[in-house]
């Protein structure tokens, strides 16, 4: 009878560095309690890692120091195991598309369901929820790219979705200045029509925020594609809604950008 360690080694030999609890139970003549004990032993020996209940990574010697391989190598099978579609986005996607100013210290994933963030070894995974209907509209092949690793491919937001996600979840993208820097770095790569099409699935305020940031970065074609969304806005909103004035009476003293119907309550600083 094969042991769990032999089963894991066989997975590696066939180029697949992961397995599920159900697979192991089906392949090995072990009771659930015995399998759980065997898994615990291999996790303690750093042969396995456990990012989610019931899903295990087989660690190569070179992975053991970091505690787990780069998530790009296993995010696709993990999300499939959970029955969820996904896309890698924000900082990691921005770096993939050529943004050089942001160090992707966290691996960020957008999904149609709120999932718990977690750390595994040296890696930190953060999950952002987009409403299922909006997610389904934009998470299509023409809006996605593929991030290649030695284990296969993972879905990554295209340039346009990366920009929109950074504007929508800017508080997770190094703040408004981080989102502005990303807009400057990769905004010229966005196709204006594709950008406008995807923007229809996002909150109007997020689209206007991105339009303003693209304008500030000098990406005028891309910004112009988002101008029609301003007509749908009823009132001006803060560029950075997380910033609260120290004195409430000062709230109305900020500069207003009539073009994008935004209150510029936070100066945007980007590197040249």
Interstrand relation of 237-238 and 144-149 (parallel, antiparallel or unpaired)? unpaired
Whether the CB-CB separation of 185 and 99 falls below 8 Å is answered with yes
The rounded distance, in Å, linking the Cα atoms of 172 and 149 is: 25
Whether the CB-CB separation of 237 and 263 falls below 8 Å is answered with yes
The rounded distance, in Å, linking the Cα atoms of 131 and 185 is: 27
What phi and psi values does residue 52 have, to the nearest 5 degrees?
A: -145, 150
In sequence order, the 6+-apart residues with CB closer than 8 A to the CB of 102 are: 91, 94, 95, 173, 174, 178, 181, 182
Interstrand relation of 18-20 and 123-129 (parallel, antiparallel or unpaired)? unpaired
The rounded distance, in Å, linking the Cα atoms of 175 and 221 is: 24
The rounded distance, in Å, linking the Cα atoms of 162 and 185 is: 12
Task: Retrieve residue 138's tokens.
Answer: 């934009």
The rounded distance, in Å, linking the Cα atoms of 75 and 183 is: 26
Number of helical H runs and strand E runs in the chain: 11, 12
Task: Retrieve residue 134's tokens.
Answer: 């909006």
* DSSP β-bridge partners for residue 48: 58
Identify the CATH number of the domain defined by range 4-66.
1.10.10
Note the pLDDT of residue 250. Answer: 46
The rounded distance, in Å, linking the Cα atoms of 205 and 230 is: 9
The rounded distance, in Å, linking the Cα atoms of 226 and 78 is: 35
> Torsion angle of alpha carbons 9, 15, 19, 22, nearest 10°?
-90
Closest of 125, 118, 116, 115 to residue 89, by C-alpha: 125
The rounded distance, in Å, linking the Cα atoms of 212 and 184 is: 11
Going 168 to 135 to 130 to 154, the CA torsion angle's sign is: negative
Per-residue pLDDT of the chain (272 residues; tens, 9 = 90+): 679 999 999 999 988 999 999 999 999 988 999 999 999 999 999 999 999 999 999 999 999 888 999 999 999 999 999 999 999 999 999 999 999 765 678 999 999 999 999 999 999 999 999 999 999 999 999 999 999 987 789 999 999 999 999 999 999 998 999 999 999 999 999 999 999 999 999 999 999 999 999 999 999 999 999 999 999 998 999 998 877 654 444 445 568 889 999 999 888 888 76
Note the pLDDT of residue 1. Answer: 60
pTM: 0.92
Interstrand relation of 152-157 and 107-111 (parallel, antiparallel or unpaired)? unpaired
Whether the CB-CB separation of 107 and 125 falls below 8 Å is answered with yes
Note the pLDDT of residue 56. Answer: 97
Note the pLDDT of residue 245. Answer: 56
Note the pLDDT of residue 265. Answer: 86
Task: Retrieve residue 159's tokens.
Answer: 């340039």
| Domains of the chain, residue spans | 4-66, 72-264
């Amino acid at each position: 009878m094969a042991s769990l360690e032999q089963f894991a080694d066989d997975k590696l030999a066939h180029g697949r560095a992961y397995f599920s609890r159900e697979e192991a139970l089906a392949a090995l003549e072990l009771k659930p309690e015995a399998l759980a004990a065997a898994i615990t032993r291999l996790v303690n020996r750093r042969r396995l890692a456990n990012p989610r209940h019931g899903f295990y990574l087989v660690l190569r010697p070179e992975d053991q120091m970091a505690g787990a391989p780069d998530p790009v190598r296993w995010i696709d099978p993990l999300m499939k195991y959970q029955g969820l579609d996904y896309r890698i986005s924000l900082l990691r996607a921005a770096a993939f598309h050529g943004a050089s100013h942001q160090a992707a210290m966290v691996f960020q994933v957008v999904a149609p369901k709120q999932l718990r963030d977690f750390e595994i070894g040296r890696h930190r995974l953060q999950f952002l929820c987009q409403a299922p209907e909006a997610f389904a509209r934009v998470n299509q092949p023409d809006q996605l790219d593929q991030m290649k690793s030695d284990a296969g491919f993972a879905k990554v937001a295209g340039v346009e979705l990366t920009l929109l996600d950074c504007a929508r979840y800017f508080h997770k993208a190094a703040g408004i200045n981080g989102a502005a820097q990303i807009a400057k770095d990769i905004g010229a790569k966005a196709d204006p029509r594709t950008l406008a099409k995807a923007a229809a699935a996002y909150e109007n305020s997020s689209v206007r925020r991105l339009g303003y940031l693209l304008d500030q970065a000098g990406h005028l074609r891309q910004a112009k594609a988002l101008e029609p969304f301003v007509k749908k806005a009823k009132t001006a909103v803060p560029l950075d809604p997380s910033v609260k004035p120290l004195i409430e009476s000062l709230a109305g003293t900020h500069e207003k950008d009539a073009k994008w119907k935004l209150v510029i309550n936070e100066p945007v600083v980007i590197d040249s």
